[in-house]
Amino acid sequence: MMFLKLAWLNIWRNGRRTMITIASVFFAVLLAITFRSITDGVYENMIHNVVSYSSGYLQIHKNGYWGEQSIDNSFEVDEELSKSLLDNPNVTNLMPRLETFALSSFADKTKGVMVLGVNPTSEKEVNQLNEKVIEGIYFESNSTDQILIGSGLAEQLNAKVNDTLVLIGQGYHASSAAGKFNIAGILKLGSPELNSNVIYMPLKASQYLHGAGNRLTSLSIMLGKTSDLESSKKAIENSIDTVAYEVMTWKQMMPEMDQFIEADSSGHYIVIGILYIIISFGLFGTLLMMTFERNREFGILIAIGMKKHLLAYVVLLESIMISLMGCLMGVLGGTLIVHLFTEYPVEFGGTLREVYEDYGIEPIIYFSGNIRIFIYQTLVVLVLASLLALYPGYKVLRIKPVDAINS
């Protein structure tokens, strides 16, 4: 307790310098938390948009389907398979999908699209797909002629709610799949690519259209804990027939997005590293000045019997105290900023919006509130503070009382 009090008094001997150092730690931690929260938020939202509305964190399909994505490589609904998957404690939901490709036509405009046959109730409960409807209504499970289309596709076809869209594609075993469907609603999804290319229809209607009976192209699997995809994948593989079925993670299905996130993260780590280098210089300079200014005082204390290692310990406490104050202020400020922008996300406009959409990224800044971001930044600063105190502490251990008193 005595050493804590001594360290506390020492850091306020030159209050102005201490406040400047605390402020530098505060701004660096604040910027690091904000920066990391933005990048993680953008990545998490990007993954969530693709995973929720398309692939799932894991996907099960017939062996060979991924090499040749055809409705002929679909499989019949298997209740035993579904039960086996849901027995896994990390599996929260199963999303049955019948994914095909078709030519959509309205008036004199045509466009190739991905048609997703889905269970409307599951999509509503798990992905809140109904909340993405910006015009019209959400479709019903028993509907045979209602579809939902992305806002980008609606714009390209110049189609509106209640217009009739013609779909022409290939059905199961080379049968023809053609029909007219009423646009019940227009969706605005998080992924610009999906927005411009996707049509949702009730699973039963899609199976009927394609002559696919009780068949699916995939089961998309939603997980509770998404941090360790590989272990979840192996657990599922051990519980199913891997001769008939194949399990893939979203990273395997979309390696380009995974590589983009990895490459982009490297650049962000460099920026955060620069912030901490700035902290280090400021903190190191403060500690050295505090040590040199008290050189004579340390000499007197050593001469009257105080152990050198205890003085070095006081210097370490001073470094940690200054850093901890800056950290706590930075974490508090970062929490307020993250909370504010989580409630009110920033949406880009103009050219910047177009750039984001060209890369398939939703032009909205999302912030991640993951507690690990705050813990990691605080721990990094405290470790830095401890390491930076080693040299001043070493100088204290090398002090010769006589020389220090006469200096």
**Residue pLDDT, tens place only, 193-248:** 788 899 999 999 999 999 998 899 999 998 888 777 888 899 999 888 888 899 99
Q: Where are the beta strands (DSSP E) in 70-175?
A: 75-76, 91-106, 109-118, 133-136, 146-150, 164-170
Query: pTM of the prediction?
Result: 0.71
- 105: confidence class by pLDDT, cuts 50, 70, 90: very high
Report, as an integer, the average pLDDT of 363-390: 82
- Cα–Cα distance measured from residue 39 to residue 268, given in angstroms and rounded to the nearest whole number: 8
150 against 18, higher pLDDT: 150
Residue 255: what pLDDT?
Answer: 83
- Cα–Cα distance measured from residue 318 to residue 11, given in angstroms and rounded to the nearest whole number: 6
351 against 201, higher pLDDT: 201
**Is the torsion defined by CA of 266, 271, 275, 281 positive or negative?**
positive
Query: What does pLDDT average to over the chain?
Result: 84
Evaluate whether 237 touches 247 at the Cβ level (below 8 Å): yes
Report, as an integer, the average pLDDT of 29-54: 81
- Cα–Cα distance measured from residue 98 to residue 147, given in angstroms and rounded to the nearest whole number: 14
Report, as an integer, the average pLDDT of 326-334: 90
Which residues fall within 8 angstroms of residue 323, CB to CB, at 6 or more apart?
A: 25, 283, 381, 382, 384, 385
Evaluate whether 280 touches 382 at the Cβ level (below 8 Å): no
Segment holding 62, helix H or strand E: strand 58-62
Evaluate whether 375 touches 33 at the Cβ level (below 8 Å): no
> For residue 187, is pLDDT > 70?
yes
> For residue 3, is pLDDT > 80?
no
- 2: confidence class by pLDDT, cuts 50, 70, 90: confident
Please measure the distance between the N-terminal and C-terminal CA atoms of the chain and give it in whole angstroms: 30
> For residue 108, is pLDDT > 70?
yes
> For residue 359, is pLDDT > 60?
no
- 254: confidence class by pLDDT, cuts 50, 70, 90: confident
Report, as an integer, the average pLDDT of 141-169: 91
Report, as an integer, the average pLDDT of 269-279: 81
- 357: confidence class by pLDDT, cuts 50, 70, 90: low
> 255: buried, middle or exposed (CB in 10 Å: 19+, 13-18, 0-12)?
exposed
Structure token pair of residue 120: 């409307």
Identity (one letter) of the amino acid at 163?
A: D
